[in-house]
């Protein structure tokens, strides 16, 4: 199973949808909420991201936003 990290923030509909997709497909992941853990903001900016959710997974290019087609690759 891939190591999956999901970066989210409070009040973000795309974050909720991404998290819900992973949970309903029994995909385990580590969540970092940038409201609670602001140290990840600079990390995400350094990676070129300007918005959350951002998903990082082994064997998959990191991406931001709610992207069901990409998430489906993790649900197999």
pLDDT, one tens digit per residue, over 2-60 is: 799 999 999 999 999 999 999 999 999 999 999 999 999 999 999 999 999 999 999 88
Distances (CA, A) of 61 to 1, 10, 28, 36, 39: 16, 24, 18, 25, 22
Cβ(56)–Cβ(4) below 8 Å: yes
What is the C-alpha end-to-end distance of the chain, expressed in Å?
10
The pLDDT of residue 1 is above 60:
no
pTM of the model: 0.94
| Cα Rg of the chain, angstroms | 11
The pLDDT of residue 76 is above 80:
no
Encoded tokens for 1: 């199973």
Is the sign of the CA dihedral 52, 55, 56, 59 positive or negative?
Answer: negative
């Amino acid at each position: 199973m891939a190591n999956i990290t999901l970066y989210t923030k409070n009040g973000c509909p795309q974050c909720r949808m991404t998290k819900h997709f992973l949970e309903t497909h029994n995909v385990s992941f580590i969540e970092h909420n940038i409201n609670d853990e602001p140290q990840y903001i600079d990390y995400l900016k350094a990676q070129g991201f300007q918005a959350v959710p951002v998903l990082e997974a082994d064997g998959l290019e990191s991406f931001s936003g709610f992207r069901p087609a990409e998430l489906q690759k993790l649900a197999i």
